Amino acid sequence: MKISRGQMAENRHRILEIASRLFREKGFEAVGVAEVMKAAGLTHGSFYGHFSSKDDLIVQALTQALGERNGATLALGAYMEEYLSPRHRDNRAGGCPISGLAADTLRQTPEARAAITEGVRAQICWMSEKVEGPEDADRRRRAIASWSAMVGATILARAMVDPILSKEILTETLAWIHNGPGRPASALSEPK
């Protein structure tokens, strides 16, 4: 039975969505093609009608996930608060692919690393447009520092077995971004 182009595109999208979630939840090495295809409700053999290899799947899944998580629908402050929240921390499978997969991507193909690079570049550009400051170079510098702190804090918070320390990492990083170093999280609501 021949599958229509529309069905083929729908299947591909479903495979990429599922692969992206599984990769973020478990890491690239812990997820096999058979697991992805089973979760998508498709046969293992149909995989090669969509992708040339698992490496190709990784690149395509990263590209799709990064395109969906650019924060364009939120104001910058709201985006930062959501990103540095326990809800995002606890949602590895549905959270940011950069904080979920950047470390794993170091051991992947140059194409996978290029996909992460483009995702980071797009995020920095978006944040640079939203960050306050009179000069482009200053706004870009602040965007890079803020984004790096957000990703790093999320990775650290996810690694903690101490829930109090985990939340403190998120809260204090958000305070540092909003208020500068040395001002506690309680200063978030105080005027600058």
- The mean-pLDDT minimum among 48-62, 63-77, 102-116, 131-145 falls in 63-77
User: What was the pLDDT predicted at 5?
Assistant: 84
* Average pLDDT of span 162-171: 98
* Average pLDDT of span 173-188: 71
Residue 186 burial (CB < 10 Å; 0-12/13-18/19+)? exposed
> Band of the pLDDT at 71, cuts 50, 70, 90?
low
Q: Total domain count for the chain?
A: 2
Using one digit for the tens of pLDDT, what is the confidence trace for 97-125?
Answer: 999 999 999 999 999 999 999 999 999 99
Could you tell me if 98 and 42 are in contact, meaning their C-beta atoms sit under 8 angstroms apart? no
User: What was the pLDDT predicted at 98?
Assistant: 95
**Does residue 25 sit in the same domain as residue 91?**
no
**Does residue 31 sit in the same domain as residue 16?**
yes
**Does residue 132 sit in the same domain as residue 81?**
yes
Could you tell me if 85 and 170 are in contact, meaning their C-beta atoms sit under 8 angstroms apart? yes
Per-position b or e across 8-24, b if 16+ CB within 10 A of its CB: eeebbeebbbbbbbbbb
Of the three residues 64, 81, 100, the one that is the final residue of a domain is 64
> Band of the pLDDT at 3, cuts 50, 70, 90?
confident
Query: Which distant-in-sequence residues (6+ apart) come within 8 Å of 69 by Cβ?
Result: 96, 97, 98, 119
**Does residue 42 sit in the same domain as residue 102?**
no
**CATH code: domain of residue 168:** 1.10.357.10
User: What was the pLDDT predicted at 189?
Assistant: 43
Residue 130 burial (CB < 10 Å; 0-12/13-18/19+)? middle
**Average of per-residue pLDDT values in the chain:** 90
Residue 26 burial (CB < 10 Å; 0-12/13-18/19+)? middle
**Does residue 29 sit in the same domain as residue 114?**
no
User: What was the pLDDT predicted at 190?
Assistant: 39
- The mean-pLDDT minimum among 19-28, 53-62, 178-187 falls in 178-187
Can you give the pTM of this predicted structure?
0.86
User: What was the pLDDT predicted at 7?
Assistant: 86
Domain that holds residue 87: 70-189
User: What was the pLDDT predicted at 4?
Assistant: 79
**CATH code: domain of residue 46:** 1.10.10.60
- Only one residue has tokens 């305070």, namely 175
